[in-house]
Amino acid sequence: MMMSDINNTLTWKTHIDKILPKLSSACFAMRSVKPFVSQQMLKVIYFSHFHSIISYGIIFWGNSAPSSRVFRMQKRIIRIMMGSRSRFM
């Protein structure tokens, strides 16, 4: 088996499918606590819960095609933090 055969079958879709529910949960948590905490605390929540999930192995999967779903979720949580609408950024 040649190395190109192996590379053509590898995909990061499974990994991304597993982390998207976790990221969605982080968005919900952020939306829930936003009215009660400061902007600084929102940043702490973002980095401890959301950023830690996406940064694991991003050097490997960050350039894959399904990664755009993760980065859209990242935009969503930042919009929640900043209180902006979806087309503002």
Residue 55 lies in a domain: yes
Checking if the pLDDT of 88 tops 70, the result is no
User: Residue 9: which pLDDT band, with cuts at 50, 70 and 90?
Assistant: low
pLDDT digits (tens, 9 = 90+) for 23-45: 999 999 999 999 999 999 999 99
Q: How many domains does the chain have?
A: 1
Residues spanned by the domain of 47:
21-82
pLDDT digits (tens, 9 = 90+) for 46-60: 999 999 999 988 888
Distances (CA, A) of 40 to 3, 17, 81: 48, 30, 10
Residue 45 lies in a domain: yes
Residue 40 lies in a domain: yes
Residue 2 lies in a domain: no
Checking if the pLDDT of 8 tops 70, the result is no
Task: Give the residue, 88 or 25, on which the prediction is more confident.
Answer: 25
The one-letter amino acid code at 47 reads: F
